[in-house]
A and B are shown apart, each in its own frame.
Chain A
Amino acid sequence: MNTIVVAQLQRQFQDYIVSLYQQGFLDNQFSELRKLQDEGTPDFVAEVVSLFFDDCSKLINTMSISLERPDNVDFKQVDSGVHQLKGSSSSVGARRVKNVCISFKECCDVQNREGCLRCLQQVDYEYKMLKTKLQDLFNLEKQILQAGGTIPQVDIN
C-alpha cells in the first residue's frame, strides 16, 4: 500500500464530500445513510441512491406527460409525483432536489402550469447534477479501496 497515495486520495475524498454539503447538494440524511453502510453491505449507499435516481427518472417522465397539454393538465397526478419525489429525495439527503420539490408543490397547489414546467426542468437538472457528483464520489471511494486504504468518516457538523 502506498500510504502517500492513500492519504492524498482520502484528503481528496474528504474535501469533495464536504464541498457537496457546503454547496447544498446533500444534507445530514446522507450522513445517516453512510453510517448504515458496513462491511456486510459495502454498496448500501450506492444502491439506495441508484434507486432514488430511478425514481427521479420515472417520476419526471410521468409528470412531464401530465403537464404536456395546456388544456388538460392532471395536477393531481403531478402533485402525487412531486410528493413521491420529495419523499425519496428527503430520504437520501438530496437537498437541492427536495427544495425544488417544495417550490414545485406550491405551483401545483395553485395550478400554475408554467411554474410546474419550470420546476420540472429544474428538478431534472438537479438530480442529474447530483448523480454526476455522487458518481465522482463513489469513484474516489473505489480508488481509495483499490489503493489499500479505508474510506474516511467525515464529520460535516
Chain B
Amino acid sequence: MTRDQVAEELPNLAESKLTALVVDDSFVNQTIHQKLLNRLGIKNDVVTNGKEAVDVYCSGGNYDLILMDMDMPIMNGIQATKRLREMGIESKIAGVTTRANEGEKKEFMEAGLNDFQEKPLTISKLLSILHKLNFYVQT
C-alpha cells in the first residue's frame, strides 16, 4: 500500500498522534513492525520481552497500542498481557504470533487482548487492527 493509499484509508491517522509499543524478541520482526508503524505515522518504541514491556509501564510509560508477540524469553506475551491488565493498564493490546491453533489463540485472548493477528504482519493486517480498535477518526 502506498502512502497515498494509506492516507486515503485513514485520512486523520497522522493527526491522531498515536503511539505504539512493539514487544518482540526477534530483531527481524521488530524492524518490520516498526517500519509498518512508521509508514502509518505512528510513533513507536520497541522492547524485547514481556518483562521489559511491564517495566516500561511501571516506569510511567504509556502507549495507545501494544503489539505483543507470544513467545518470548523471560516473560512471554500471555504472562505480560495478564500482568499489564492486573496493573490496570487499559492500552489496547493486539497479540501477533505465528502460533495460530485455536487453543493457543484462546489462551492469548483470555489473557486480556483486544485483538489478535497472525504473523507475518502486513500493512493490511495492521490497518485491520487499527480499524477494529477504533483507532481512526472519520471525517
Contact = CB atoms under 8 A, between A and B. Distances in A.
A93 B121 CA distance: 11
Contact of A90 (B3, B36, B120, B123): B120
Contacts of B1: 35
A52 B32 CA distance: 11
Interface stretch (B22-30, B41-49, B50-58): B22-30
Given A32-B120, A52-B28, A55-B26, A87 B36 contact: no
B70 to A, nearest CB: 10
B71 to A, nearest CB: 7
Given A29-B120, A48-B28, A87 B98 contact: yes
Nearest to A93: B120
A20 to B, nearest CB: 18
- Among B31, B71, B119, B123, max chain A CB count under 10 A is at B31
| B interface, over-half SS | helix
B39 interface: yes
Given A32-B122, A35-B1, A91 B71 contact: no
Contacts, number: 53
A91 B120 contact: yes
Nearest to B25: A84
B131 interface: no
Contacts of A47: 31
A109 B71 CA distance: 18
Nearest to B98: A87
A87 B35 contact: no
B39 A91 contact: no
Given A36-B39, A86-B98, A87-B98, A55 B28 contact: yes
Interface of A: 29, 32-33, 35-36, 38, 41, 44, 47-48, 51-52, 54-55, 83-84, 86-88, 90-93
Given A55-B27, A87-B98, 15 more contacts: A32-B122, A33-B32, A35-B2, A36-B35, A36-B123, A38-B3, A48-B32, A51-B27, A51-B28, A52-B28, A84-B26, A87-B71, A88-B29, A90-B98, A90-B119
